[in-house]
Amino acid sequence: MQIAWLIRGLRTGVVTTRYPREPETLPRGFRGLPVLDVDRCHAADGCNDCVQACLPRAITLDAETRGQGDTGRESFAVSEEAGGGVLLRLNYGACIMCGLCVAACQSTAITMTADYELAVRQPGDLICAATLRDQGAHHESTASPEPN
């Protein structure tokens, strides 16, 4: 009996992950970091399907939240350089990786990656933004978000 256990244990080997030393690939279908392809996004043409679909309101357009006060989320400052464009912000801190924005996006601009290493030291590092304009998408850095 004990011999059988020993043989089975030796056959199984070490099951512990070697994660920090070796990168770990998560199973297919794992929803990690959502990523936006700015070239395919139609937010500048008035599309806000992902904003509507987002449950924790992690995705926001600056035109929509202009002038709103503290709603318990980030107060989304209007970018100074966003003349004529819209500012699409994604707050990874609030994102629950549900994938509803991917399902809602008609131009398949948003994709879920399997990236899970999202820990940061500053809360501001979790907020990412892209400025979108009508003619050709621009990928610009934006003003830092104001704490509410």
- Indicate whether 115 belongs to the interface with other proteins (CB under 8 A): yes
Take residue 111 and report the two structure tokens written for it. 């994709």
Radius of gyration, CA atoms only, the chain? 21
Q: Considering only the stretches 3-11, 61-69, 99-107, 111-119, report the one whose residues sit in contact with other proteins under the rule CB under 8 A.
A: 111-119
- Contact string 52-91 vs other proteins (x = CB under 8 A): ---xxxx-----------xxxxx-------------x-xx
- Indicate whether 103 belongs to the interface with other proteins (CB under 8 A): no
Closest by Cα among 20, 10, 118, 99 to 59: 99
Instruction: Please give the size of the binding site for other proteins, defined by CB under 8 A.
Output: 59
CA distance linking residue 118 with residue 98, whole number of Å = 16
Residues 6+ apart with CB under 8 A from 71: none
- Indicate whether 51 belongs to the interface with other proteins (CB under 8 A): no
Check: CB of residue 86 under 8 Å from CB of residue 59: no
Give contact residues for other proteins (rule: CB under 8 A).
Answer: 15-17, 19-20, 24, 26, 30, 33, 35-39, 55-58, 70-74, 88, 90-98, 111, 113, 115-130, 139-142, 144-145, 147-148
